[in-house]
Structure formats: C-alpha cells, structure tokens
Amino acid sequence: MKITEFTYKNPDSDGDIRLEGSVLLENKTDFDVEFVTVSSTVLNHAGVTVGGSRQEEDTEFISAKSSGEVDLNLGWGFHKDFFDGKPKKMKALVEVTMYKREFMKIGSIEVPASQNTLNMLKKDVSIGGMVEIRGISVLRKKNDDEGDVQLEIRAGFRNISDTYIDRAQLDARLLDQRDAEIASDMRYESLPSKSSWLCEPSFWGVKPGKIKNAEITLSASIFVPIGTFTGEATATPSKD
C-alpha cells in the first residue's frame, strides 16, 4: 500500500482545515477484491490524536494481480488550532483491509397469494463453508391501513467458523410475474465467530395488484479478508 496523497487546505472562514488523501492498493492475490475497509488516525505536531475515521467501501473492485486507488475519508471538524500553527507536521496513520467475496444464489420464494399466509424456502445454504442459512420464511400479514402489502421476511445467518466476518450480506429482489423488479433491499451485519444474525429485509409501498404471481429472489455474500496493510504519511499543502 502506498499513500499517494495527504494534503491540507488553508483554513476557511470558520478556521476549519480540510484534509484530503488517497491510497494505492496492490492486489497480489488470485482473488478479486470487492470490499475494502480503511481506518485513519490524524496526529498533530505533538503526535497527539486530533481526528480520524473508519470507512467501508463496497463499490470498490480491484481485479486479481492488479491495483486500484481509494480515496481517504480522514474525518472532519479539523480546526486550525488543533495544529498550533504547524499543519505541515501533522501525520496520518492508515490501516487498510481488502476482502474477497464469497457469493451464493439462494433461490426464490413465491409471495403468498393471500393475507395471513406463510411461504417457506426449505433449503440449507452454506457460504464458503463459514456461514450457514437454515431456510427462509416469508409471512404475508394483513394489508396495512394504506392498503399496502405487509411482508415479513426472515433469514438466519450463523457463523460456524472461528473467523470474525466483517460483513455478511443478504440481497432480496421482489419481482412481478414478468420478472420486472418491483422493489429491492440489501441488509448486512458483522458476524463474530460462533454467532448468529436474524436478517429481516423489507419492501414498502407495494400494492396487492403488483404481487400477483410475484416472487422474491435471494442471494447472500460474505466478505473474507485477503490482505491487510498499514502506512503513514506527513501532510503537504494542497496545490488548489
């Protein structure tokens, strides 16, 4: 990992200094990177913490054996007095973890045709041998006061491994009888070793006429670390 930029701008009218940065990540593995976490700590001239941030980048994609650049979110609220007139001596400490994605198409469930009806996907799913899902239930309750459909979807994720999983994710799509998407939802959560998570995606504002012969398609992912990097840099004035 190389910190390719760590700059600061002159104070604005409120005395706040804006920090900008970026890192270049090299993926030397045989796996594509589809998720990146970045933790940053900003130190002033005395080596004392004055800020920092943690970011999760789920739109990044770095192919195997290639590299990619990620912008740093270094935080905000950096008043010039934090640096005692010595902004050139501030430092950024950066930790980055890259993750590969283990993906599984779970399947589809027909939306219950009538109210107060339960449909089930009676299928056990394993994701990367680390996480299991023991079926999924869809309960269609009584329509709400606006006449909209109420669906309760429940999927249980269980981390059966000894590994902490930063993100387990469920993607749900509600499709009409022509396979056109009516609505979608994505939910995610971290999963410590030997723990579980009840995932409950939802759809809102759907009228009963739209769900005739509709189905819910589901897929799941976990993100597994494949590389961790640390670095530090000293700030330079922005050229802007």
pLDDT in tens, 91-122: 999 999 999 999 999 999 999 999 999 999 99
Residues 82 and 132 in one domain: no
Q: How many Cβ atoms are within 10 Å of 15's Cβ, its own excluded?
A: 11
Residues 154 and 193 in one domain: yes
pLDDT of residue 174: 98
Residues 111 and 127 in one domain: yes
* Sequence-separated (6 or more) residues with CB below 8 Å from residue 85: none
pLDDT of residue 129: 95
Residues 171 and 84 in one domain: no
Residues 13 and 115 in one domain: no
Handedness of CA 51, 57, 61, 62 (dihedral sign): positive
Residues 113 and 186 in one domain: yes
pLDDT confidence band for 240 (50 / 70 / 90):
confident
Q: What is the mean pLDDT of the chain?
A: 96
pLDDT of residue 217: 98
pLDDT confidence band for 77 (50 / 70 / 90):
confident
What are 235's two structure tokens? 């700030």
Residues 89 and 106 in one domain: no
Residues 39 and 97 in one domain: yes
Domain range spanning residue 47? 2-101+226-237
Indicate the helix (H) or strand (E) that contains 165. Answer: strand 165-175
| % of the chain at pLDDT higher than 90 | 98
pLDDT confidence band for 226 (50 / 70 / 90):
very high
Cα–Cα separations (whole angstroms), residue 43 to 23, 66, 161, 164 = 18, 31, 37, 29
pLDDT over 90 (residue 75): no
Residues 7 and 111 in one domain: no
Residues 106 and 23 in one domain: no
pLDDT over 80 (residue 178): yes
pLDDT of residue 71: 95
Total domain count for the chain? 2
CB 109 within 8 A of CB 216: yes
pLDDT confidence band for 239 (50 / 70 / 90):
confident
CATH number of the domain bearing residue 156: 2.60.210.10
Residues 200 and 130 in one domain: yes
Mean pLDDT across the stretch 20-37?
A: 97
Q: What is the DSSP letter of 15?
A: S
Residues 95 and 112 in one domain: no
CA distance 119 to 57: 35
pLDDT of residue 134: 95
pLDDT digits (tens, 9 = 90+) for 131-162: 999 999 999 999 999 999 999 999 999 999 99
pLDDT confidence band for 193 (50 / 70 / 90):
very high
What are 175's two structure tokens? 């499709």
pLDDT confidence band for 26 (50 / 70 / 90):
very high
pLDDT of residue 229: 97
